[in-house]
Amino acid sequence: MKEVKFSDRVSERAKKDILELQGKIENLNSGDLPAEMFRKFRLARGVYGQRQPGVQMIRIKLPYGRLTADQLVRIADCSDKYATGNLHATTRQDIQLHFVKLVDSPHLWAELEDAGITIKEACGNTVRNITASPTAGIDPDEPFDVSPYAQAAFRYFLRNPICQDMGRKFKISFSSSEKDTAFAFMHDVGLIPKVVKNEKGEPQRGFQVLVGGGLGAQPMAAQELYEFLEEEYIIPLIEAIIRVFDRYGERTKRHKARMKYLLADVGIVEFLRLVEEEWPAIKNKSFDIDKTEVPAPPSESTLVLSDLLKDEDESFKKWLITNVFEQKQAGWFGVRIRVKLGDMHSDTGRALASVVKEFAADDIRVTANQGYLLRFVNAQNLKPLYHKLTELTLATPGFDSTMDITTCPGTDTCNLAITSSYGITRVLEDLMLNEYPDLVFNSDIKIKISGCMNGCGQHSASNIGYHGSSIKHGQHVLPALQVLLGGGFSAVGIGTVGEKVIKIPGKRGPQSLRLLLDDYQANSLDGEYFNSYYLRKGKNYFYQLLRPLADLSTITEEDFRDYDHDEIFKTEIGVGECAGVMLDLVSTTLIEAREKLELARELLAAGLWADAIYHGYNTMITGAKALLLGEGVATNTQHGIMKDFDEHFGDYFCPSETNDGFRQIVLTINKNEPSEEFARYYVSNASEFLTYIHSFREKHNHTGEAEPKLQELVFGMDS
């Protein structure tokens, strides 16, 4: 393979990651590395398999959606060089590049790192991109800017041993105000800023902490863990939560492996107890946030929006009303860019970067509805900026309005998608533009679409949601849409998940939207919010309203063709990539254990005691899992592995003169401070344990004799 070239701006840790990826690709191509094991590895490096064989999607991790003009140019250049020239903005404030050759992924990554961008842990069972309100720092309603907190969390958990191999992905968001514009209610950990008076009567920053939210096939709203927690404890708390999720979360049943199910199983009180139990092992009992990473705002301007609305250009005024808002910094404006389907050509991206350098602060934010936000635009520059954006076809009015539909790529690239999300989105947006033009001013009704039930388009968090499905009719299958209603925010700003109302043939999606909009306009009370109307009328009312569309007696041949497709529809769902892979082969599991032990030793040598301890913990858990799998014992949680190991192998691996079981030995991790002494002791035990695991298997496999008792191994440390 071609040598990867690094600039001086690429960190040593990033270089190591990139070269490791290239080495694994070489091992895969030579047949030395199983494809399934490599798949799990590459996902944690932002390399995601597409629906199309032989190419990858590269997910670029942009903490809280922030990037500079130069970084946007670099992404555009990389898309031209390695992908298709398209930049796809996602609902998690990432940018994705599609149709990348696997062998090119290390080179692409190196070029991104040169610009200060990473793809590390953008996919897989890791802490995914940490999102935040794109208006953070300029939001008139915010108590303080959450941007530096999101940045600090990103840095803290990137490459952190506690979240490299969890049961499933883990998502964190920071909203800028109680309006919850970053959807804290649907995250594993959601944080909403607050300021209260402390005992001295001084203002104290902190957060309301929500946990256990999530979308997917069974969406759940998050529960409150703390009404208020001081800012210095936020990152340590998240670490403790991740440790609990890592230890007790499901690992075999993929559909039950999110934190929302763990919380539902144990309850909020027991969950908090488990979190507090982890506190002794936390590396930092408090963590001060570096707020200097966010630049100070420019000096104030003087012109106000009302002056500009006197302009006679109606198109300009519509854009001002729907896409521009006055920041909390008087005289400065945020300009929101609506991007259809979230797709922007690389040439447009480079041109936009030039516009940003001329008219705005060097701080672009990707938004959760797949657009972009420019910040600190001087009022006097709004008109010339509008003309520049118009030339780039980036001045379409109606940002985040009903007409601005959020959608995932669907069957265009995704393995799990059932139907075309892009196709139905185009049709519905054109329908509203032609038949309901005033909806460009409506920001209360949100429409979101996903190609399947998994929710990348966030359909469960919208007032009107659709997700791709299928309906069997005779010997054939036709593309369908599941209609969900009542999600998003209530009239008083409480986050809710939508209810499934009815499934209809996909080509009847436009009719369903007409029925819903016409009914709402005709029968809602004056000023009644859509979700309030839905609750007042009830689910059955809307089921009966849409029921005629589910009648299959009138379908035509066209109903068997999905949007953007000429061929007759058939379901072709590939293997899911988003959660990584469970590797049940004993040999590959032992390889994982050895790799974790090597990482523990490296971190021990570097003096990173807490990180070394956690890799030592994972070494023992993974080694125990390998032995259990070899005996045909199913495993699902790390806690279960410890229990099952004691039951099946306790007599062999624990000294008879002690009462300590394997579980007690391993869990000294959360009963001791992460000191150098404990780190060296714990990693040494992990090393010996793995040695004996190999000895145990070798003797058992080659002689068939009863397994030897390994009395020499002495575990434990007083807690």
pLDDT for the residue 698: 73
Same domain for 413 and 343: no
Q: The tokens of 353 are what?
A: 């970067």
Question: What pLDDT band is residue 305 in, cutting at 50, 70 and 90?
Answer: low
In 198-348 the beta strands, taken as DSSP E runs, fall at: 203-211, 223-230, 324-326, 332-337, 343-345
The count of domains in the chain is: 5
Same domain for 488 and 461: yes
**Selection from 205, 207, 204, 206 nearest residue 190 by Cα:** 207
Same domain for 209 and 106: no
* Residue 577 · residue 123 · CB < 8 Å: yes
CATH number of the domain residue 667 falls in: 1.20.120.330
The mean-pLDDT minimum among 113-127, 365-379, 427-441, 635-649 falls in 635-649
pLDDT digits (tens, 9 = 90+) for 225-270: 999 999 999 999 999 999 999 999 998 787 788 999 999 999 999 9
Cα 8 from Cα 10, distance rounded (Å): 6
CA distances from 489 to 186, 223, 370, 443 (A): 11, 15, 19, 12
Residue 123, domain member (yes or no):
no
Out of 54, 89, 114, a domain closes at 114
Same domain for 623 and 699: yes
pLDDT for the residue 295: 62
pLDDT digits (tens, 9 = 90+) for 50-69: 888 889 999 999 999 999 99
Same domain for 210 and 156: yes
Residue 174, domain member (yes or no):
yes
Residue 712, domain member (yes or no):
no
Same domain for 347 and 234: no
Out of 337, 359, 391, a domain closes at 391
What backbone phi and psi angles, to 5 degrees, belong to 665?
-65, -50
Residue 371, domain member (yes or no):
yes
CATH number of the domain residue 17 falls in: 3.90.480.20
Question: What pLDDT band is residue 580 in, cutting at 50, 70 and 90?
Answer: very low
Same domain for 228 and 199: yes
Is 71 a residue whose pLDDT tops 90? yes
pLDDT for the residue 706: 40
Same domain for 315 and 237: no
Quote the Cα angle for 242-243-248, to 5°. Answer: 100
Residue 179, domain member (yes or no):
yes
Question: What is the dihedral angle through the alpha carbons of 448, 451, 456, 461, rounded to the nearest 10 degrees?
Answer: 30
Same domain for 195 and 98: no
Residue 481, domain member (yes or no):
yes
Same domain for 592 and 453: no
Same domain for 142 and 109: no
Q: DSSP states of 421-478 as a string?
A: HHHHHHHHHHHHHHH-GGGGG--S--EEEESSTT-TT-GGGSSEEEEEEEEEETTEEE
- Regarding predicted confidence, which is higher, 454 or 138? 138
Residue numbers of the domain that contains 534: 406-560
Residue 715, domain member (yes or no):
no
Out of 265, 292, 319, a domain closes at 292
Is 485 a residue whose pLDDT tops 70? yes
CA distances from 206 to 102, 172, 209, 228 (A): 43, 16, 9, 6
pLDDT digits (tens, 9 = 90+) for 161-185: 999 989 999 999 999 999 999 999 9
Q: The tokens of 62 are what?
A: 């942009």
Burial of 150 (0-12, 13-18, 19+ CB in 10 A): buried
Mean pLDDT of 343-359: 97
Looking up tokens 């006055």, which residue turns up? 326
Question: What pLDDT band is residue 657 in, cutting at 50, 70 and 90?
Answer: very low
Same domain for 530 and 648: no
pTM of the model: 0.88
Is beta strand 66-67 parallel, antiparallel or unpaired with respect to 56-60?
unpaired
CA distances from 467 to 296, 512, 514, 571 (A): 42, 13, 17, 14
CATH number of the domain residue 442 falls in: 3.30.413.10
